[in-house]
């Protein structure tokens, strides 16, 4: 519930400045930057993510710390499951497979 | 960057343990409450109790949002699944929480449209993807999660998405701490303050605990070393007869909190006059409701919900455990009728609940490295 997952901003959304793609251990998902709008992160910044929203900017060293925290708490798997679930990507893919379109 | 499965500065863990033993006055008994469920989980997982002297006792607080939610709210939320073309979306943590007629997962097995989402933004996405259906997002959580729900509701309004609403169960941590301090059977010496809630609210809201109640508060990180350092900081204050709010988790928690998150919450939510907490009863101004300006996105204002009140199973002593009056294993149902596989009470459902943590880690050895305590 209270997982805070570190991710690196690897792509900013050209159309919507409040969205960005983050990389979490190689998995890339869109997250919402709206809760950091007073101090928007830039490309290459590290953020802590909670339920699909970037909650705070952190340093790379703190991101490493947070990775370790999740691992020793036995929560890295849950964290990756959460990140992979962002954007309903599994559901969207499943639907695309079923409905190949016209 | 990868996950690394080793402790930060293990040599310091032993030192912190030593410092705790040095600071704790053998003539006193210290009762320290960790408010946050994440800390409870960590304390059990690392067997931190074994590093503390017998007179430094950790009391597990109310900071597990799944655990403090009364069953009636789950029933109320699930009642909406009976409506045709409704999708009920909730976080995975909620899926096994028992309501009177089963958990969300059991409703799903019966054919109701129940979905797991990992973000409120994805519940809104479900609404965009299913314009012919109505999506109810069952929102739970403290101030860590509430801003994300708030921003999602703002986004729904901005985009004019009308087939989406939130069944709001967000609660706030300060009134719960106040209720615990007001409870006559509680005597506490200090608090390990929540980590991620404080990234949002900052450290200032705890000031009254120090100034009015004269109890120290240390906002803490989640690693063994963080929690032990926080206990050192608390004991140091207690030894000097001080009561201050300190921030051990500076690498993540800014003293002022997150202004944009607080603004989003203030824009969308107002305080409910009162809200029922499992185990603690009704607490004034302890939960958030959606403001009238956003009534369109409030499941409770938009649809009929029965307003069920369910008393906890009599034999389950969740309330006493939640307040720290009983230890999990002292409950009559613990480990027999009530297990993580078949939870009766909510404290057994979430890994952050003290009963589940106690059950999981009292059978298996905690993860703490052998020998660290002795160094």
pLDDT at position B375 is 35
| B29-312, CATH topology level | Rossmann fold (3.40.50)
Burial of B365 per CB tally in 10 Å (0-12, 13-18, 19+): exposed
Are B305 and B80 spatial neighbours (Cβ–Cβ below 8 Å)? yes
Residues of B in contact with A91 (CB under 8 A): 115
Are A46 and A57 spatial neighbours (Cβ–Cβ below 8 Å)? yes
* Residues A53-73: tens digit of each pLDDT: 999 999 999 999 899 999 988
Nearest CA in chain A to B200: A55
Residues of A in contact with B38 (CB under 8 A): 1-2, 73
DSSP H or E stretch at residue B190? strand B190-193
CA distance B234 to chain A (A): 22
Sign of CA dihedral B167, B172, B173, B179: negative
pLDDT exceeds cutoff 60 at A99: no
Bridge partners of B198?
Answer: none
Question: Which residues 6+ apart lie within 8 Å of B74 measured at CB?
Answer: B94, B97, B98, B99, B104
Confidence of residue A36 (pLDDT cuts 50, 70, 90): very high
Are B57 and B30 spatial neighbours (Cβ–Cβ below 8 Å)? yes
ipTM of the modeled complex: 0.91
Q: Which of B118, B140, B223 sits opposite A72 (nearest CB)?
A: B223
Q: Which of B3, B117, B129 sits opposite A70 (nearest CB)?
A: B3
Q: What is the pTM of this model?
A: 0.93
Q: How far apart are CA B330 and CA A11, in angstroms?
A: 52
Nearest to A62 by CA among A4, A3, A19, A20: A4
Q: How many domains does chain A have?
A: 1
Provide the phi-psi class of A38: left if phi over 0, else alpha when psi is between -120 and 50, else beta. Answer: alpha
Q: Tell how strand B164-168 and strand B134-139 pair up.
A: parallel
DSSP secondary structure letter of residue A94: H
Provide the phi-psi class of B304: left if phi over 0, else alpha when psi is between -120 and 50, else beta. Answer: beta
Nearest CA in chain B to A19: B121
- Contact between chains at B126 and A1 (C-beta distance less than 8 A): no
DSSP H or E stretch at residue B260? helix B259-268
Are B71 and B99 spatial neighbours (Cβ–Cβ below 8 Å)? yes
Residues of A in contact with B65 (CB under 8 A): 1
Long-range contacts of B302-308 (CB under 8 A, 24+ apart): B302/B165, B303/B80, B303/B83, B303/B165, B305/B76, B305/B77, B305/B79, B305/B80, B305/B167, B306/B75, B306/B76, B306/B79, B307/B72, B307/B76, B308/B71, B308/B72, B308/B75, B308/B76, B308/B79, B308/B100
Q: How many CB atoms lie within 10 A of CB B61?
A: 27
Backbone φ, ψ for residue B66 (5° rounding): -65, -40
Cα radius of gyration (chain A): 14
Question: Which residues 6+ apart lie within 8 Å of B160 measured at CB?
Answer: none
Question: Quick one: tokens of B350?
Answer: 């979430």
pLDDT at position A94 is 63
Are B225 and B12 spatial neighbours (Cβ–Cβ below 8 Å)? yes
Question: Quick one: tokens of B11?
Answer: 């040599």
pLDDT at position B281 is 87
Nearest CA in chain A to B353: A1
Nearest CA in chain B to A61: B251
pLDDT at position B364 is 60
pLDDT at position B291 is 98
Are B334 and B328 spatial neighbours (Cβ–Cβ below 8 Å)? yes
Q: How many residues does chain B have?
A: 375
Q: How far apart are CA B57 and CA B32, in angstroms?
A: 6
Q: How far apart are CA B332 and CA B336, in angstroms?
A: 8
Domain boundaries defined on chain B = 29-312, 318-361
Exposure of B69 in the CB half-sphere (CA atoms within 13 A): 28
pLDDT at position B370 is 43
Sign of CA dihedral B349, B350, B355, B359: positive
Per-residue pLDDT of chain B (375 residues; tens, 9 = 90+): 777 777 777 788 889 999 999 999 999 999 999 999 999 999 999 999 889 999 999 999 888 999 899 999 999 999 999 999 999 999 998 998 889 999 999 999 999 999 999 999 999 999 999 999 999 999 999 999 999 999 999 999 999 999 999 999 999 999 999 998 988 877 899 999 999 999 999 999 999 999 999 999 999 999 999 999 999 999 999 999 999 999 999 989 999 999 999 999 999 999 999 999 987 889 999 999 999 999 999 999 999 999 989 887 778 888 788 777 888 999 999 999 999 888 888 788 887 889 999 998 876 655 654 445 433
CA distance A37 to chain B (A): 6
- What is the residue-wise DSSP string for A6-68? EEEEEEE-SS-TTEEEEEETTEEEEEE-GGGGGG---TT-EEEEETTEEEEEE-HHHHHHHHH
Residue A60: give the domain boundaries: 5-98
pLDDT exceeds cutoff 90 at A51: yes
DSSP secondary structure letter of residue B338: B
- Contact between chains at B118 and A71 (C-beta distance less than 8 A): no
Nearest to B149 by CA among B298, B353, B285, B255: B298
Provide the phi-psi class of B130: left if phi over 0, else alpha when psi is between -120 and 50, else beta. Answer: beta
Bridge partners of B36?
Answer: B63
Chain B contact for A62, CB < 8 A? yes
**Within the 16-45 window of chain A, which residues sit less than 8 Å (CB to CB) from chain B?**
25, 32, 34-38
pLDDT at position B352 is 82
Q: Tell how strand A46-50 and strand A53-58 pair up.
A: antiparallel
pLDDT at position B29 is 96
CA distance B22 to chain A (A): 27
Say which CATH number the domain at A85 has. 2.30.30.140
Q: How far apart are CA B256 and CA A50, in angstroms?
A: 19
């Amino acid at each position: 519930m209270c997982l805070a997952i570190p991710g690196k901003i690897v792509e900013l959304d050209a159309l919507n400045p409040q969205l960005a793609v983050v990389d979490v251990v190689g998995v890339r998902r869109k997250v919402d930057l709206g809760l950091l709008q007073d101090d928007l992160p830039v490309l290459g910044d590290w953020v802590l993510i909670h339920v699909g929203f970037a909650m705070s900017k952190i340093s790379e060293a703190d991101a490493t710390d947070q990775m370790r925290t999740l691992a020793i708490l036995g929560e890295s798997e849950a964290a990756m499951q959460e990140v992979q679930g962002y954007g309903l990507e599994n559901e969207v893919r499943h639907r695309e497979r079923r409905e190949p379109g016209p | 960057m990868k996950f690394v499965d080793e402790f930060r500065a293990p040599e310091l863990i032993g030192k912190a343990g030593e410092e705790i033993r040095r600071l704790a006055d053998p003539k006193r008994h210290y009762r320290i409450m960790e408010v946050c469920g994440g800390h409870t989980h960590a304390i059990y997982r690392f067997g931190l109790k074994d590093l503390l002297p017998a007179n430094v006792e950790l009391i597990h607080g109310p900071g597990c949002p799944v655990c403090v939610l009364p069953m009636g709210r789950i029933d109320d939320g699930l009642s909406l699944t009976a409506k045709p073309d409704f999708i009920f979306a909730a976080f995975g943590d909620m899926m096994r929480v028992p309501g009177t007629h089963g958990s969300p997962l059991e409703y799903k097995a019966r054919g109701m449209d129940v979905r797991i989402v990992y973000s409120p933004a994805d519940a809104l996405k479900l609404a965009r993807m299913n314009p012919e259906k109505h999506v109810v997002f069952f929102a739970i959580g403290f101030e860590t999660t509430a801003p994300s729900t708030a921003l999602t509701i703002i986004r729904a309004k901005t985009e004019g998405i009308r087939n989406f609403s939130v069944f709001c169960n967000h609660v706030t941590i300060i009134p719960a701490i106040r209720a615990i301090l007001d409870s006559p059977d509680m005597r506490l010496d200090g608090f390990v303050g929540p980590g991620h809630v404080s990234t949002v609210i900052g450290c200032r809201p705890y000031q009254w605990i120090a100034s009015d109640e004269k109890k120290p508060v240390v906002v803490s990180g989640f690693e063994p070393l963080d929690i032990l350092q926080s206990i050192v900081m608390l004991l140091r204050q207690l030894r000097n007869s001080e009561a201050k709010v300190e921030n051990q988790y500076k690498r993540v928690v800014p003293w002022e909190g997150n202004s944009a998150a607080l603004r989003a919450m203030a824009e969308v939510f107002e305080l409910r006059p009162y809200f029922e907490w499992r185990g603690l009863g009704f607490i004034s101004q302890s939960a958030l409701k959606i403001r009238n300006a956003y009534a369109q996105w409030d499941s409770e204002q938009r649809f009929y919900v029965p307003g069920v009140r369910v008393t906890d199973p009599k034999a389950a002593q969740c309330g006493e455990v939640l307040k720290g009056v009983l230890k999990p294993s002292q409950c009559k149902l613990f480990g027999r009728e009530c297990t993580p596989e078949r939870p009766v009470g909510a404290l057994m459902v979430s890994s952050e609940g003290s009963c589940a943590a106690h059950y999981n880690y009292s059978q298996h050895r905690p993860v703490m490295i052998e020998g660290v305590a002795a160094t």
